[in-house]
Structure 1
């Protein structure tokens, strides 16, 4: 069983997936920093928006205007955090879309640069051609 697991774990696809997960996690942290440290402060400076403190207290004990303190006081509906995460997702989705678009463009360019091969004829067409040629060789 250990040998089978080792063969499975060392296959190229599993290793590629593991590397992709690690890189994806690092990319997620970069996007979190981009949104939290660069994009949201710009929104805050322009329109006074700070999504991180948008919440609704779910009981009367929540009186703090700061989310971290409000969570200590009781249950809160922190929709501002959701808005920030949604913006993170949109940025990641756009970035991945651009990467996939770039990869597809490179593949199309490589495919166009390759010499085109004539399309292979179906087997039945080849067989009928061989029968025709044999009949032509046969004396009447």
Structure 2
């Protein structure tokens, strides 16, 4: 029973719960960014580059033609799907940028809410230091 108690204490620690919440929110946020890239950003970019969907850009690795869609080409044989890689790369860059901005905001908030360091105590005047040295010498 002691092991169950230890596990319960471990699982209920703030760090573990915070991590679990972060993973869940991160997964949902990843889906939002994926939709942003797929549905909002990629259509205009693909329009600029010839009106084709990046997801269907591939190089066949066998003797098939490139007129097939990516799904059909995969059924026919091996393909190098570089268009899908471009989409995922753009997705990653956007996600990394947004997370970077969030971390910047959190760090800025921490710096502004952190208590300022106490000012250094004023230096002892020279005459006081001299008097202390004389006192210590007289005690000896």
Indicate the residue corresponding to 2:4 in structure 1.
Answer: 2
My pick for the range that moved more, 98-107 or 59-68, is 59-68
Indicate the residue corresponding to 2:80 in structure 1.
Answer: 77
Q: Give the Å deviation of 1:38.
A: 0.5
Q: Give the Å deviation of 1:91.
A: 0.1
- 1:23-48: CA deviations, max 9, x gaps? 11101100110000000111122332
Per the alignment, do residues 63 and 117 of structure 1 end up closer, same or farther by CA in structure 2, a change over 3 Å counting?
A: closer
Indicate the residue corresponding to 2:125 in structure 1.
Answer: none
**Which residue, out of 15, 18, 21, partners 1:16?**
18
Query: How many equivalent pairs are there?
Result: 127
- Give the TM-score normalised by structure 1: 0.77
> Residues of 2 paired with 1:20 and 1:91: CA distance?
18
**8 Å contact kept, 2:57–2:84:** yes
Q: Does 1:118 align with 2:119?
A: yes
Indicate the residue corresponding to 1:31 in structure 2.
Answer: 33
Per the alignment, do residues 91 and 115 of structure 1 end up closer, same or farther by CA in structure 2, a change over 3 Å counting?
A: closer
Q: Give the Å deviation of 1:119.
A: 4.6
Unaligned runs of 5+ in 2: 122-128
- 1:29-68 alignment to 2 at 5 Å? 29-48=31-50, 49-61=52-64, 64-68=67-71
Q: Give the Å deviation of 1:118.
A: 3.5
**8 Å contact kept, 1:43–1:50:** no
Unaligned runs of 5+ in 1: 121-128
Q: Give the Å deviation of 1:3.
A: 1.9
> Residues of 2 paired with 1:119 and 1:5: CA distance?
46
CA-based RMSD: 2.5
- Give the TM-score normalised by structure 2: 0.77
